Amino acid sequence: MKRGITAVAIIVVCLSNMPVEAKIGTLGGKGVVLVEPESMRVLYGINENTQLPMASTTKIMTAIIALENGNLEDVVTVSANAAKAPPVDLKLKENEKQYLGDLLYSLMLQSHNDTAVAIAEHIGGSVEEFCEMMTTKANELGAVNTKFETPNGLDSEQHYSTPYDLALIGAYALKNPKFVEIINTPYMNIPTRELEGAGKHQLQNKNGFLHRMPGANGIKTGFTSKAGYCFVGSATKGNMTLIGVSLGNFGSAGKERKYTDVKTMIEHGFNNYKMYTLVDKEQILDNIAIKNGKEEEVKLVAKERVSIPLTADEMEKVTLSITKPDEVDAPVETDLQAARVDVVLDGQVLKSAWLYPEKEVEKLSLFERIKKYIDAF
């Protein structure tokens, strides 16, 4: 039962990443994607699974690794290696001290490369070890076409991602309240409190998207000569958040096109899609027979909400499909993944969720089974 459902679930992931056809117009990025982060449904994409250099959008993962593996109160001592990182830099000096939490503002507001190295060495012990942590985390999230070789996004042969993978990483990052707080801070002076050996620095948020679109709430810009102008952006309207990614904008127009690409896609999403809850938490969707149980069947309930962005036309066609065995053996526990519900549109599975028994069902004793058999006659 579980092996069969797992095999289908792998197919679900592939199908859910398939872009929906849309008319948006000409975009500047070599690879772009628009996703809704709760379902990770792709609403629009061009080369969304193509591996490309991603410049300082890398720092989204740098910040997440620091937030999840470091203490924001830690004091970071800047090494000679970090101090010599090329611009854009905070101009950290060797042996300068800063709080880890303060450095995250430098990392995300002004994309300082020396800060990224200092954070990497503090958390990972070395840049190489930290990049291994970054790649491992990306793969755990499902960003399997991503590899990190630098913590700041400077060009390197084995440093790449895809528009979809960056949207996936961005969606994960937006679940972290501290991350969201940092990327939406207009300005910050560090150190935020007294620290011996700390240099004083004024920081200002350089993410121009925050002023270009209502509801914008992130995420990260980037540029190198190899990657071009890159951007991962996010905005929220009503109950729907959308993430847009544009990589590989080149030329003098690319600096602005990275923003307009994402703005155009997100506006398209807001204008054409709405969030629909197809399955609600604690919703009873079916029942299942029980073999040798004190009850002959039990109701099946969802433990998570399934919401998906759909157009009005799609909402008219979407269906729910339940896959379950003929029966399950008693005893039955409430954590049993007894069945699966799929949200299906035009033959494609957009999202799946497990269904669980609503209550526990005990197994019949031998005596009870004999009595039941006799009563049946």
60: enclosing H helix or E strand: helix 59-69
* Predicted confidence (pLDDT) per residue in 13-27, tens digit: 333 434 444 568 899
100-109 vs 59-69: helix crossing angle, rounded to 10: 160
Beta bridge partners of 218: 234
Rounded Cα gap, residues 103 and 82, in angstroms: 13
Residue 17 confidence (pLDDT): 39
Q: Rounded to the nearest 10 degrees, how much is the dihedral formed by the CA atoms of 367, 371, 374, 375?
A: -170
The predicted structure's pLDDT at residue 16: 40
Topology annotation, domain 277-375: Peptidoglycan synthesis regulatory factor (PBP3), Domain 2 (2.60.410)
Q: Buried b / exposed e across 350-369, counting CB within 10 Å, b at 16+?
A: bbbbbbbbeebbebbeeeee
**Cβ count near 292 (within 10 Å):** 17
Residue 23 · residue 96 · CB < 8 Å: no
What is the spatial distance between Cα 27 and Cα 249, in angstroms, rounded to a whole number? 9
Using CB atoms within 10 Å of the CB of residue 210, give its burial: 0 to 12 exposed, 13 to 18 middle, 19+ buried: middle
pLDDT of residue 287: 97
Of 183, 203, 193, 182, the C-alpha closest to 112 is 203
The structure's pTM equals 0.90
* pLDDT of 22: 54
Q: Which of 151, 72, 68, 74 is nearest to 117 (CA)?
A: 151
Written as six digits, the tokens of 344 are 């299906």
Separation between Cα atoms, residue 317 and residue 140, nearest integer Å: 33
Give the residues of the chain that fall short of pLDDT 50. Answer: 1-21
The residue extents of the domains of the chain are 19-272, 277-375
Q: Is 23 exposed, middle or buried (0-12, 13-18, 19+ CB in 10 A)?
A: exposed
**pLDDT value at residue 2:** 36
Q: Is the dihedral of CA 133, 138, 141, 144 positive or negative?
A: negative
Give pLDDT, residue 372: 73
CATH fit for domain 19-272, picks 3.30.1490.20, 1.10.287.3510, 3.40.190.10, 3.40.710.10: 3.40.710.10
Over its C-alpha atoms, the chain yields an Rg (Å, rounded) of 25
User: Can you say whether residue 42 is alpha, beta or left, with left for phi > 0 and alpha for psi between -120 and 50 degrees?
Assistant: beta
